[in-house]
Chains A and B, each alone.
Chain A
Amino acid sequence: MKQLLQCFSARLSGRLESEQAVFREGIDRLVYLLTSTAIFSWFRSRAFLSSWLFVVLLMSMQSVQAILTIEVTQGNDKAVRVAVSPFSWNGKKILPEDMASVVEENLRLSGLFAPLPRKDMLSFPSSAKDVVYRDWDILGASYLVTGQVKQEGNRFEVNYQLFDIVRQKSILKGKVRGDESQLRGLAHHISDAVYEKITGIPGDFSTRIMYVTADRKSAEHTDYRLNYADADGQRQREILRSREPILSPSWSPDGSRVAYVSFESGRPAIFVQELATGERQKITDFKGLNSSPVFSPDGRQLALVLSKGENPDVYVMDLATNELSQITSHFSIDTEPDWMPDGKSLIFTSNRGGSAQIYQVGVNRLSNGTVVAEGKPKRLTFTGKFNARAKVFPDGKSLALVHKGQGATEFNIAILDLDTGRLRQLTSARLEDSPSVSPGGRRLIYAVSGGKNGELGIVTADGRVKYRLPSAKGDVREPVWGPSIATQR
């Protein structure tokens, strides 16, 4: 709470002037997003005519289902009380999406907020003139969010406002527009704006997650699917379907492309696929491993793992020239690379010291396009018997990883502080894998297995709030958090 207030006052003093600008920029982004959606539909119709492959990929993309649900397993009892009043609405039918509850759920799952139950509210204000501060104060709410939805033809316009109950004033006002299918997206945008206004940290609600589902029908038949969905598990879309394994998906920094490993030919190969068109390119299918592709921060290179029939080593491929540079060269296992945010070094898992641990190696891109390792790899983890699949936080100051302690039997998600070397275990299920950090660094998504079905788990980076996104059917695994949709180009 104290931290929040500090954040807030820091924002007030330092960023007041820029607020209007930030707000306008947000709207511009949204307008951009809506236009790019139009372009997406255009591509879709084109692709439909041009190739059957795209037909398969895209028809499945149209099937919008909610397969993941949310189960909160641990809440935060020190959360800030916020009230989200049901949005008013001028339409005749019921509002297709309860936007206020989407906002409410987002704020709750961020771990910092405890939304006031709707049944406790004394009134449902939708604009400033209806707000009775005293009532909200009595109910213990520190903030109030209101919204008005208007429909004209197929277009919906939402005016929203955030009130500071203690200071008895409106502190944020905004307007977003979209069609019916975008109402959830608009609610996520409002959640981001509210979250950022109160905490000073950009929200991560207008983001997507990607994951693999595996539906095992028999020992010989498993249906694998690569999907993406909103960060709350809703609006799922399919990227690829196969009878053979799909692994280690990764987002391009702008969210327009994904890379993954597919065994569809019976052997592993790395692909890069354009989400809007479904068009894809095979990047590598060398003998042996083709594994763990991950885009560089500038999106121009792909770090990946090849064994070419011998030892697994980390390589970098230039996506424009397809030139391959070998980064590590060791007889042990080197795998699971990730980029530091500045693109100047890679971290990876290696068992060169006898057990799986995380190492870091500098990389330098020469003028001729090849990438070379700089210096010897440096070991980063020293606690525990097994540390693997590390992902760098956006600020480059810590790593999320899979950790097994000395004498422990569980594999859990932990955060390593790179300055102090301290390792902090976040979760405690039996088998956890594949941590991925949200763009703002506030939350982590990971895979939980060892029970009946594999599930996705989300935990706030402070460890306070945990929830699960189980799949309605089969296993769900290999989650990866995508970039903010608003930054898509």
Chain B
Amino acid sequence: MRFANFVKATALSAIALWLAGCASTGGQSTSDVEATPEYATEEVVIETFPALDPAVQAVIDSGEIQASPEEIERLLAHKTYHFGFDSSKLKESDYKALDVQAIYLNSSEGRGKKVIIQGHTDERGTRTYNLALGERRANAVKHYLVSKSVSPSRIEVISFGFEKPLDPAHNSAAWAKNRRAHIVIN
């Protein structure tokens, strides 16, 4: 989706630049054109024009996964992984997204990035036990990434227990949302 928008935006910029070119040949002084920030900005977009989001491109370039750019973009955006009650076992449906995260982190594009994995629980049990449980969940994600050759020294695990619920309601739907590990890459 975002990819499609990007193509659209790039096309529009190209048209804008072409029009700008017309304007400058249309008798206006070059200094006027240069002083207009709009045109300068558009030019930058053209110069850095990438075919794809660099992260998506890096994953494709690795050759380790066969999937459409849209699919890879979706998997890269999938950074929150949910767990069962009192469980720190990853769900199989999350493996593919984690594989893509690992490919990205091992790519030339992602190699310099650090990873923070936050662990969270639902509100049941005790706060302090849940801090430990949240850490287990974050560690499950960490161990998976490490098994895919991401260096453990790049990964930091922080458990918040149930201090930071996504949904503060007291029902099973909220609990399911809150039992999660979340990765932040930067």
Contact surface of A with B, Cβ cutoff 8 Å: 216, 219, 245, 247-248, 263, 266-268, 287-289, 291-292, 305, 307, 309-310, 312, 333, 335-336, 349, 355-356, 386, 388-389, 402, 411, 430-431, 433-434, 449-451, 477-478
Inter-chain contact B128/A389, CB cutoff 8 Å? yes
Closest to A430 in B: B170
Q: Is the CB of A333 within 8 A of B136?
A: yes
Please give, as numbers and ranges, the residues of chain B lying within 8 Å of A349 by CB-CB distance. 126, 128-129
Q: List 13 A-B contacts (CB under 8 A).
A: A245-B164, A248-B128, A288-B157, A289-B159, A291-B132, A333-B132, A335-B129, A349-B126, A355-B86, A433-B125, A449-B123, A449-B170, A450-B123
Give me 15 other A-B pairs in contact (C-beta within 8 A), A291-B128, A388-B126 excluded. Answer: A247-B128, A266-B158, A268-B131, A288-B159, A289-B135, A333-B136, A335-B129, A335-B131, A355-B86, A388-B129, A389-B126, A431-B123, A434-B127, A449-B170, A477-B127
Q: Considering the chains assembled together, what is the distance between the CA atoms of A430 and B170 in angstroms?
A: 10
Complex contact B163–A336 (CB within 8 A): no
Residues of B within 8 A of A288 (CB): 135, 157, 159
Instruction: Choose among B126, B160, B170 the residue that contacts A245 (Cβ–Cβ < 8 A).
Output: B160
Whether B158 and A267, one on each chain, are in contact in the complex, defined by CB atoms closer than 8 angstroms, is: yes
Interface flags, B146-164, vs A, CB<8A=1, else 0 = 0000000000111111011
Residues of B within 8 A of A431 (CB): 123-124, 170
Known: A245-B163, A263-B163, A335-B131. A386 touches B125 (CB 8 A): yes
Distance A266 CA – B126 CA, assembled complex (angstroms)? 21
The answer, yes or no, to whether B72 is at the interface (CB within 8 Å) is no
Compute how far the CA of A207 lies from the CA of B166 in the bound complex, rounded to whole angstroms.
Answer: 37
* B129 surroundings in chain A (CB, below 8 A): 333, 335-336, 349, 356, 388-389
Whether the Cβ atoms of B123 and A289 lie closer than 8 Å is: no
Question: CB of B181 within 8 A of chain A?
Answer: no
Q: Which of B129, B159, B160 has the most CB of A within 10 A?
A: B129
Complex: A388 Cα to B129 Cα, angstroms: 7
Binding site for A on B (CB under 8 A): 86, 123-129, 131-133, 135-136, 139, 156-161, 163-164, 166, 168, 170
Asked if A312 meets B158 with Cβ closer than 8 Å, knowing A263-B163, A433-B127, A449-B123, the reply is no
Q: How far is the CB of B90 from chain A (nearest CB, A)?
A: 18
Asked if A433 and B126 sit within 8 Å, CB to CB, the answer is yes
Asked if residues A434 and B158 are in contact (CB atoms below 8 Å), the reply is no
Q: In the complex the two chains form, what is the Cα distance from A478 to B127 in whole Å? A: 8
Residues of B within 8 A of A219 (CB): 166
Report Cα–Cα, A215/B158, bound state, in Å.
22
By beta carbon, the residue of chain A nearest B116 is A266
User: CB-nearest residue of chain A relative to B158?
Assistant: A267
B136 contact set on A, CB distance < 8 A: 333
Does A312 lie within 8 Å of B132, measured CB to CB? yes
CA A312 – CA B133 in complex, angstroms? 10
Using Cβ atoms and an 8 Å threshold, which residues of chain A touch B128? 247-248, 291-292, 305, 335-336, 349, 388-389
A349 vs B166: C-alpha distance when bound (angstroms)? 27
A287 surroundings in chain B (CB, below 8 A): 156-157
Contact of A336 among B126, B133, B157, B160 (CB under 8 A): B126
Nearest-neighbor residue (CB-CB) of B164 within chain A: A245
- Nearest Cβ on chain A to B37's Cβ, whole angstroms: 33
Given contacts A288-B135, A307-B135, A333-B136, contact A248 B157 (CB under 8 A): no
In the complex, chain B residues whose CB is within 8 Å of the CB of A449:
123, 170
Q: Which residues of B contact A450 (CB under 8 A)?
A: 123, 170
A291-B125 contact given A263-B160, A309-B157, A333-B136, CB 8 Å threshold: no
Contacts of A292 in B (CB 8 A): 128
Q: Are A451 and B170 in contact (CB under 8 A)?
A: yes
Whole-angstrom distance from the CB of A473 to the nearest CB of chain B?
Answer: 15
